[in-house]
């Protein structure tokens, strides 16, 4: 399949899912019955869009020299992993299936970004097993933190709408607020463990390839800062009972630091400094 057709097919898939999610969330339909046909369409279309998106990422990332981990490819990969996690979560917990509609426009934006910014940042040491381990753990950690951040924002929205006494359709299917909060901390704990492994494997990876320990750079500094923020949040929750809006604020702060660590450094290097 030519790249242009693959871009188009993937974008159309996510656009269709975004439209279905928007139509289901309209206030006019808040009290209406669920449409079984739409549910069946979404349950089929979402994995199809995931497969097309995976093919697009593979063609963009895997090159003859190694891996092209430019800004757009990296963002697209993390968004795809996040969408995959939500799809798997929807299979295990049907109450979370409504989250897939929220991921569709984000995935569409990632595909459009990949098309508009075909930047190249080729990593040539992909044959190193330690790099493969480090990269895989890091991408999964970032995806889980994206899930946690979306989850935290949904908790804010859910609390806001509960005070109003009327929930839009896409929030009605979600678990209760206390269950959402418990799930948030389980996600954060898993993501924090993976982020810890990312930092540790990054140190060994740097020593193995470059013969020196990990140096303090913009990326390293914000990465360690995000690790400290998430660690403090988990400690505060389990030992001091932090929850609610406090937990949401700390989650957003940690994710902002993580975003500056990885995406921020790529924006500066690739788009501003043209490296």
Output 88 or 128, whichever has higher pLDDT. Answer: 88
**Most confidently modeled range among 1-5, 64-68, 80-84:** 80-84
Position 200 scores a pLDDT of 83
Residue 90 confidence class, pLDDT cut points 50, 70, 90: confident
- Rounded mean pLDDT, 49-59: 95
- The span from the CA of 134 to the CA of 110, in Å, is 23
Residue 122 parent element (H or E): strand 122-123
pLDDT at 38 over 60: no
- The span from the CA of 108 to the CA of 115, in Å, is 11
**Cβ neighbours of 17 (radius 10 Å):** 24
Strand order in the sheet with 122-123: 62-63, 66-68, 122-123
pLDDT at 7 over 90: yes
- Rounded mean pLDDT, 96-116: 89
Output 128 or 5, whichever has higher pLDDT. Answer: 5
- Rounded mean pLDDT, 66-93: 89
- The span from the CA of 59 to the CA of 158, in Å, is 39
Q: What is the pTM of this model?
A: 0.85
- The span from the CA of 153 to the CA of 157, in Å, is 6
Cβ-based neighbours of 5, under 8 Å, separated by 6 or more: none
Position 261 scores a pLDDT of 82
Long-range pairs of 129-135 with CB within 8 A, sequence gap ≥ 24: 130/201, 130/204, 130/205, 130/208, 131/205, 131/209, 133/201, 134/198, 134/201, 134/202, 134/205, 135/67
Whether residue 22 contacts residue 43, with contact meaning beta carbons closer than 8 Å, is answered with no
Q: Which residue has the tokens 């097309």?
A: 52
What is the tens place of the pLDDT at every residue in 107-118?
Answer: 999 999 999 887
pLDDT at 39 over 60: no
Position 161 scores a pLDDT of 77
Position 218 scores a pLDDT of 73
pLDDT at 208 over 70: no
pLDDT at 273 over 60: no
């Amino acid at each position: 399949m030519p790249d242009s057709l693959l871009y188009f097919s993937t974008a159309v898939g996510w656009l269709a899912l975004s439209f279905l999610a928007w139509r289901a969330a309209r206030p006019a339909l808040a009290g209406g019955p669920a449409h079984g046909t739409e549910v069946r369409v979404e349950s089929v279309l979402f994995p199809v869009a995931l497969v097309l998106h995976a093919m697009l990422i593979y063609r963009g990332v895997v090159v003859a020299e190694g891996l092209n981990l430019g800004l757009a490819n990296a963002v697209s990969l993390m968004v795809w992993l996040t969408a995959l996690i939500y799809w798997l979560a929807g299979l295990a917990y049907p109450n979370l299936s409504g989250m897939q509609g929220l991921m569709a426009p984000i995935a569409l934006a990632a595909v459009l970004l990949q098309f508009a910014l075909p930047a190249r940042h080729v990593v040539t040491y992909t044959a190193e097993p330690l790099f493969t381990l480090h990269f895989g753990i890091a991408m999964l950690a970032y995806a889980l933190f994206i899930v946690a951040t979306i989850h935290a924002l949904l908790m804010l929205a859910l609390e806001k709408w509960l005070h109003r006494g009327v929930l839009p359709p896409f929030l009605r299917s979600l678990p209760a607020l206390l269950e959402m909060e418990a799930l948030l901390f389980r996600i954060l704990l898993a993501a924090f463990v993976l982020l810890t492994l990312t930092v540790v494997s990054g140190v060994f990876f740097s020593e193995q390839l470059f013969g020196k320990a990990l140096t303090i750079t913009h990326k390293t500094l914000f990465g360690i800062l995000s690790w400290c923020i998430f660690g403090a949040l988990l400690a505060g929750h389990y030992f001091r009972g932090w929850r609610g809006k406090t937990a949401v604020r700390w989650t957003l702060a940690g994710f902002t630091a993580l975003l500056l660590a990885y995406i921020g450094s790529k924006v500066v290097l690739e788009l501003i400094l043209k490296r």
